[in-house]
Chain A
Amino acid sequence: KAGVTQTPRYLIKTRGQQVTLSCSPISGHRSVSWYQQTPGQGLQFLFEYFSETQRNKGNFPGRFSGRQFSNSRSEMNVSTLELGDSALYLCASSLAQGTGELFFGEGSRLTVL
């Protein structure tokens, strides 16, 4: 069965721009979580969606937003990009909301210049 698919894999943006990242979960998984990974901060939780509703949100500014569609695919958006937003953005899907085994995608590596 296909794994979690994230697009794009790599992208370069400049400060002030906005970016949209996409995540297709494993078929049948209804929970999608997003994490930001940087060398200095580890894996930081951004938000989780389950059945098209945001169930949890991490401590990130409002520039970070997301949504989930009826087919469980999810997108996250970062507006007004800052240099510090450069990171690997990981999407993870799971069967259950919140505490189940997480299946990660390969990530979208964002570089902000």
Chain B
Amino acid sequence: GQQVMQIPQYQHVQEGEDFTTYCNSSTTLSNIQWYKQRPGGHPVFLIQLVKSGEVKKQKRLTFQFGEAKKNSSLHITATQTTDVGTYFCAGPEAGKSTFGDGTTLTVKP
């Protein structure tokens, strides 16, 4: 079945540094979604990318969908302490969403 892998598993940054997490699927995706889970919270939808090569921005967050629609990335510019949490990508397969294991971001003020 489909596998969705994320790297790195953990990332520790100083406040103000940039952060990037990468997501790779073993199969071509029709779309990819990104979620954020704050410590002690539940996953919250951030964005969905559909088109090959698509790039979307949300303030300091930039999301990219690869040309082959098998990989994606999330880049945060100038991290803030409010960015802490685990970022998950999710890709649909056979009618269900398969989640990557997530990248946990900690930000040192």
Q: Interface SS of chain B: helix, strand, loop or mixed?
A: strand
Contacts of A104 in B (CB 8 A): 35, 42-44
* Residues in B whose Cβ lies below 8 Å from that of A103: 45
**Cβ < 8 Å to A, chain B residues 90-109:** 90, 92, 94-102
In this assembly, does B27 line the interface, its C-beta being within 8 Å of a C-beta of chain A?
A: no
CB <8 Å contact, A106 and B41: yes
Cα A55 to Cα B100 with chains together (Å): 22
Q: Which residues of A contact B28 (CB under 8 A)?
A: none
Residues of A within 8 A of B (CB): 33, 35, 42-43, 45, 48, 55-56, 58, 90, 92, 97-99, 101-107
- Closest 9 pairs (CB-CB, A-B): A98-B95, A99-B92, A43-B99, A42-B101, A104-B42, A56-B96, A104-B43, A101-B45, A56-B95
Known contacts A43-B102, A98-B96; 9 further A-B pairs (Cβ under 8 A): A33-B96, A42-B100, A45-B99, A58-B96, A90-B42, A90-B43, A98-B95, A102-B33, A104-B35
